Amino acid sequence: MAFSLRNCLAGGLFGLVLLAGPPAARAQNVARRRRHDHNGHAYYLGPLRVSAGVGTAFYNGDLGNSLSNDFLGPALNLGLLYSLGPHWRIGGELGYFGMGARDYLPSRGLAFYGHNGLGTAFVRYDLLGDPSVYATPGAARRVQPFVQAGLGLLLYNPQAYLGTARPTSTTAYLPAERNDYPALAGVLPVGAGVVVPLTDQFNLTLEGNYYLTTTDNLDDISQRGNPNVKDGFGTLMLKLDYAIGR
């Protein structure tokens, strides 16, 4: 099951890279169209940016929310980001992350690990604005803080077991609480971060997000835990993005 999930994610990420081609050409043309801010200053739309990120994910659910109990796994993503002006940007990302945890209650002794796919669309607001988009650009800021929010879908595939350590090839998993894994859930990500411009085309971004979800089975522990509270998770990512056609 994890193999097929990874294949689906790999196909989705490859498709996102392919989609960057045609929009890039259109974005270069659109970027030359002038807009004006509320002070009458002219600015350009774009450019389209392609990003790749690495990081990790943090669990918050029936087994607890302590970092000391997390089994931190890798998080990877690819994304597109397009500027709508000095402050606003829109974007989308596809990613994969592994995540697990052990129980905060030793008497219960549960644990889980899951392989997950994530697709999101979001709106970003640059708190200080980006002076480089203006027709008469100002000096680039050394650090650009931002906040963002969006929505998306989560493809999750957890496996629960009894234990206090990461699963191994000999781990005996508990019967699943539902029979349709990998399953889909909605997510609402909210987050913040900082962008550090490296050159005219390359940016480095440190970003943290928390994801509200519509499921209590992110850990395959719902009836065995508290079915009245939905699970959540967070990510911390370091990303490099490249401006196409700038």
pLDDT at 241: 97
Tokens of 194: 């900082």
Residues 6+ apart with CB under 8 A from 204: 195, 196, 198, 238, 239, 240
pLDDT at 43: 72
Q: What is the DSSP letter of 25?
A: H
pLDDT at 24: 44
pLDDT at 25: 44
- Please name every residue paired with 74 in a beta bridge, in sequence order, or none if there are none: 56
- Please name every residue paired with 99 in a beta bridge, in sequence order, or none if there are none: 72, 114
Q: What is the DSSP letter of 1?
A: -
Tally of domains in the chain: 1
Q: What range defines the domain where residue 105 resides?
A: 2-244
pLDDT at 129: 84
In this structure, are residues 178 and 227 in contact, taking their beta carbons and an 8 Å threshold? no
Tokens of 131: 């002076």
**Measured between alpha carbons, how far is 153 from 135 in angstroms, rounded to an integer?**
38
Query: What is the domain-level CATH number for residue 28?
Result: 2.40.160.20
Handedness of CA 213, 219, 225, 227 (dihedral sign): positive
Give the burial class of 217: count Cβ atoms within 10 A of its Cβ; 0-12 exposed, 13-18 middle, 19 or more buried.
buried
What average pLDDT values come out for the chain (246 residues) when binned by 10 residues?
A: 53 52 46 63 82 98 92 97 92 98 93 98 94 70 94 98 95 94 98 95 97 96 84 98 86
pLDDT at 115: 97
